[in-house]
């Protein structure tokens, strides 16, 4: 059974936590003790029904303020699929939390309050979803019950969002009119909106096609460990262990080691006590090569037929996550897969006002700021553009003074 990880994003009071609670409650995915606590809670909706948002409010501050601050993860499954839900905060001051929660998501649910339509926060969330390369987007137009399930109002929001999706370059967008409070079109189809011919949210989530990148042309394996037991029994053993980040490797494939550029052929693939003939995305394996090549942790094995870019001067999109502003005079560390090297900020190109999408120049990067910069690394990085291959296009910046991750990078292209 495959796993779909998705993130929910919306403004304050759009009903994200209620939607997730409804999804869990109506699909009977709540544990007995949680259900008991839910019924015992004094927190009720205005109509006296149970406030299902309690199910995702993990922090005391969240319960007190009625908002989401930290990314809350929930797990459930149906007969067709397992799900991991990342409930991300919608406030601009928690943008870094949303970026963290969305980084590995295969789908994003963007909530829009039917009474308000597309607003500033919708633009921000959609821009972030596009920036992070989330392949599928579901726009849930929530609180339809408060507009008496008006089709015309729903269609206007759909039209407005389609214009926004085109602007931020979102290609796969699905629209569903819902009421998380009443349960309309969440798990079951609603009888209150006969004009809507599509499926419920859960049915869509169960059946949406989330492609796993197994293309041979994207074969990438960051070397985590070089295994050389150097015992009498395994005197000549030399294997390169790691997790296939993307694509497929097969025995007899010609591979190139980057950044050195040496080439060889895969002679054997090991996975525990098995010897599979191929290794696909997500498999942790040990690869043996026909030739003895100098390889170390941090190197990248790739298909010789389709190699990534190798550069030290790289244009990147940056989400700054530290309370201390970006210091262009400081030497940071950059971690790209298993490789860690020093880097400097060569140039700050611009910041993006994520509420209006306007570019801002000559501005300092502060907490939650997003924009484009150029970095110069001490060692070459072998990378793919993030929008083409997320698995080999993402990196983080670490402050060498504190060892704290201070920024997320989406690598774009080498700079001549």
Query: pLDDT tens digits for 167-179?
Result: 999 988 999 999 9
Residue 59: pLDDT band (50, 70, 90) is: very low
Is the sign of the CA dihedral 310, 311, 316, 318 positive or negative? positive
What is the mean pLDDT of the segment spanning 352-380? Answer: 90
Q: Are strands 239-243 and 284-289 parallel, antiparallel or unpaired?
A: antiparallel
Instruction: Give the residue with greater pLDDT, 67 vs 164.
Output: 164
pLDDT average, residue stretch 315-321? 94
Q: Note the maximum CA span of the chain.
A: 78
Burial string for 337-373 (b: 16+ CB within 10 Å, else e) reads bbbbeebebbebeebbbbeeeeeeeeeebeebbbbbb
**pLDDT, mean of residues 56-82:** 68
Give the mean model confidence (pLDDT) for residues 60-82. Answer: 70
66-70, 121-125, 234-238, 376-380 — which one is most confidently predicted on average? Answer: 376-380
pLDDT of amino acid 362:
75
Measured on CA atoms in the order 86, 62, 356, 373, is the torsion positive or negative? negative
Using the predicted structure, report yes or no on whether residue 297 has a pLDDT greater than 50.
Answer: yes
Local structure of 204: helix, strand or coil: helix
Chain segment 95-143, per-residue pLDDT in tens: 777 787 777 888 999 999 999 999 888 998 899 899 888 889 999 999 9
Distance, in Å, from the CA atom of 347 to the CA atom of 375, rounded to the nearest integer, reads 7
Please choose, from the candidates 180, 224, 221, 215, the residue with its C-alpha nearest in 3D space to the C-alpha of residue 201.
Answer: 180
More confident residue, 223 or 353: 223
Alpha carbon distance 368, 97 (integer Å): 9
Would the pLDDT of 266 be above 50? Answer: yes
Q: In angstroms, rounded to a whole number, what is the distance separating the alpha carbons of residues 191 and 188? A: 9
Task: Tell whether the model's pLDDT for residue 260 goes beyond 50.
Answer: yes
Query: What backbone torsions phi and psi does residue 12 show, to the nearest 5 degrees?
Result: -55, 135
In Å, what is the CA distance from 342 to each residue of 172, 264, 348?
37, 29, 18
What does the pLDDT look like over 177-218, one tens digit per residue? Answer: 999 989 999 999 999 999 999 999 999 999 998 877 777 778
Higher pLDDT pick, 345 / 236: 345
The region of weakest confidence among 18-27, 56-65, 225-234 is: 56-65
Tell me the pLDDT of the chain averaged across its residues: 88
Which pLDDT score, from 0 to 100, does residue 36 have?
74
* Buried/exposed code over 104-113 (b: 16+ C-beta within 10 A; e: otherwise): ebbbbbbbbb
93 pLDDT above the threshold of 80: no
| 203: CB partners within 8 A, 6+ apart | none
pLDDT value of position 51: 73
Instruction: State the pLDDT at residue 357.
Output: 86
Inform me whether the pLDDT recorded for 69 exceeds 60: no
Place of tokens 């097969």: 250
């Amino acid at each position: 059974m495959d796993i779909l990880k998705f993130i929910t994003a919306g403004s304050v009071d759009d009903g994200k936590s209620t939607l997730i609670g409804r999804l869990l409650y109506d699909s009977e995915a709540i544990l007995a003790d949680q259900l008991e606590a839910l019924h015992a809670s004094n927190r009720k909706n205005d109509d006296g029904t149970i406030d299902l948002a309690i199910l995702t409010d993990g922090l005391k501050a969240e319960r007190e303020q009625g908002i989401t601050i930290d990314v809350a993860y929930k797990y459930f499954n149906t007969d067709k699929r397992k799900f991991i839900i990342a409930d991300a905060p919608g406030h601009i001051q928690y943008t870094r939390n949303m970026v963290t929660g969305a980084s590995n998501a295969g789908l994003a649910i963007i909530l829009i309050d039917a009474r308000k339509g597309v607003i500033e926060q919708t633009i921000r969330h959609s821009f972030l979803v596009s920036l992070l390369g989330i392949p599928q987007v579901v726009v849930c137009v929530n609180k339809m019950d408060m507009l008496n399930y008006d089709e015309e109002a729903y269609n206007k929001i759909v039209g407005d969002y389609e214009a926004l999706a085109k602007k931020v370059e979102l290609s796969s967008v699905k629209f569903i009119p819902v009421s998380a409070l009443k349960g309309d079109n969440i798990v079951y189809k609603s009888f209150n909106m006969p004009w809507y011919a599509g499926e419920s949210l859960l049915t869509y989530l169960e059946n949406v096609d989330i492609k796993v990148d197994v293309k041979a042309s994207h074969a990438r394996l960051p070397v985590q460990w070089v295994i050389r037991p150097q015992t009498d029994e395994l005197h000549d053993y030399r294997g390169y262990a790691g997790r296939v980040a993307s694509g497929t490797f097969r025995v007899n494939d010609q591979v190139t080691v980057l950044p050195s550029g040496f080439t060889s052929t895969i002679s054997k693939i090991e996975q525990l006590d098995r010897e599979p003939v191929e290794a696909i995305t997500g498999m942790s394996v040990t690869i043996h090569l026909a030739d003895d090549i100098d390889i170390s942790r941090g190197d990248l094995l790739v298909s010789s037929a389709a190699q990534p870019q190798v550069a030290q001067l790289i244009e990147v999109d940056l989400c700054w996550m530290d309370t201390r502003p970006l210091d262009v005079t400081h030497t940071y560390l950059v971690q790209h897969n298993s490789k860690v090297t020093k880097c400097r900020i060569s140039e700050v190109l611009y910041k993006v006002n994520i509420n209006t999408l306007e570019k801002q120049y000559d501005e300092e990067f502060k907490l939650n700021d997003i924009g484009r910069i150029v970095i110069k690394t001490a060692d070459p990085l072998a990378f793919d553009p993030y929008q083409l291959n997320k698995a080999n296009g993402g990196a983080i910046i670490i402050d060498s003074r504190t060892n704290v991750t201070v920024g997320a990078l989406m690598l774009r292209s080498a700079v001549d």
